[in-house]
Amino acid sequence: MVDGIQPKVLTLKDILQEYINHRQIVVRKRTEFELRKAEERAHILEGLKIAIDNIDAVIKLIKKSKDKDEAKVGLIKKFKLSERQAIAILEMRLQNLANLERMKIEDELKEKKKIIKELKAILASKKRILGIIKDELLEVKEKFGDERKTKIFPGAVGEFAQEDLVPNEPTIVVVTRDGYIKRVPPETFKAQKRGGKGVIGLTTKEEDVVEHFFTTMTHNNLLLFTTRGRVFQLKAYDIPVGTRTSKGQAIVNFLQLAPQEKISSILPIKKGMDSKYLIMVTKKGLIKKTALEDFVNVRRSGLIAIKLKEEDKLQWVKPTSGKDQIVLVTSNGQSIRFDEKNVRSMGRAAAGVRGVRLKGEDYVIGMDVIDPKKGAKTELMVATEFGYGKRTALKHYKVQNRGGSGIRTAKVTKKNGQVIFGKVIDPEQAKDRDIIIISKKGQVIRIPFKSIPSLGRDTQGVRIMRFKAIEDCVANVTFVELPKVDEK
């Protein structure tokens, strides 16, 4: 506590300044105490000097007095002494009358007056006080400035690291638009039938909505990309665990974000990944490919990932092998599929090239990576804002050149709303897994993937979620990476 009232988080410079302020108070109070003691002693010595200078009269007055109190009053009256001086004279021993003792009293009085002058000069000068603090610190350094006898380790001592104390298990990470983050176990949400209302999965502030919702492993590194094109890094287990309905903690406690800068994409980096590149896509349809090794060492203040125009925002980042295909999906239901080789590798500060041509107010709502070897077996799943969803075989999406307008992937109507989610999935791998859908007002439902039908491109899909609140809509969708845990 700086002011003794409220705890504060201080920078290193602020801590040093508060220490100096504290030491000034200590030195000033100590000097005032020493000055008071010196003045008290000088006062007594002045009284004793008066007594020695008038020793005969003092002895005569004491002999005539009936008792000690009368002698004290007489001394005070005749020699204009204080009560403390009179008592000191009465307690003075006869041996102090000797010439040698008399000189000691006079010398001590001179010394005390010199000390008093010096202490008053210190109290009158802030520069003198700071000089004393500096000298005392140098003395401490000289006396205790030996080499550190203990060693500092970033993790646990010995063979243990922080990861050894954290189980590597699946977890769901939730991030809201206003910058709150938390993680919860997948089993927090039990499986339900398609078209249900689900449960409350997050308590958000008024006007806040869920923006990122995905599963990962607790030991994975997370690359967090921002709307301004910067990237930060966190361990998944560094994200605080929350309950199903808690809003989480402010992400600014973990990252040095600038004003109006928000997290736009979070990429789990798994150990042993064979990916060589990161593909980035902006809201305005620009695409960029950068080597993954350029993001190995991400400093605490972040790195530039892509150069953006003022009105554009970085929204999606995915790892690729260099031989994959890319699919982009827009809010008006358009999609485009093209080879990754059509996008050349660029440096971190480059701006990228056009990935899809947008019409009117349309914008990109999703991107994903396709393995050409599995392309014939995979499907593109989309979800719309009013709770409709479907999946369509990728064989119905022809490979085009980068930068075109694409083809229809979903029929957008007033009933189902605009497309808000698009993801490439392998139905064989996902058939025993679940999908978790969360709304902007925090409602969550978990349904089996196999309950979502496979339909044609130009269809609106089927109802996969109903909403409890008026004007609520789907915010995001994620897959549970492990088979669901049945609740008993």
Q: Tell me, what's the pLDDT at 212? A: 74
Instruction: Supply 262's token pair.
Output: 């928000």
* CATH topology (fold) of 12-144: Topoisomerase; domain 3 (1.10.268)
Q: Are 441 and 135 in contact (CB under 8 A)?
A: no
Edge-to-edge strands of the sheet including 353-354?
Answer: 314-320, 277-282, 286-291, 353-354
> Which H or E run includes 119?
helix 99-123
Least confident among 44-48, 163-167, 177-181: 163-167
Is 48 a residue whose pLDDT tops 80? Answer: yes
Instruction: Supply 81's token pair.
Output: 């002494």
**What is the gyration radius of the CA atoms in the chain, in angstroms?**
40
pLDDT tier for residue 99 given thresholds of 50, 70 and 90:
low
Percent over 90 (pLDDT), the chain: 43
Is 333 a residue whose pLDDT tops 90? Answer: yes
Q: Tell me, what's the pLDDT at 256? A: 82
Average pLDDT of 285-307? 88
Least confident among 24-33, 294-303, 310-319, 444-453: 294-303
Residue 205 gets which letter from DSSP? P
What residue ranges do the domains of the chain occupy? 12-144, 170-479
- 459 vs 98, more confident: 459
CATH 2.120.10.90 is held by the domain 170-479: yes
Say how far apart CA 417 and CA 423 lie, in whole Å: 18
Q: How many residues does the chain have?
A: 488
Edge-to-edge strands of the sheet including 221-226?
Answer: 263-269, 221-226, 230-235, 303-304
pTM: 0.56
Q: Mind listing the pLDDT tens digit for each residue in 5-31?
A: 778 888 999 899 999 999 999 999 999
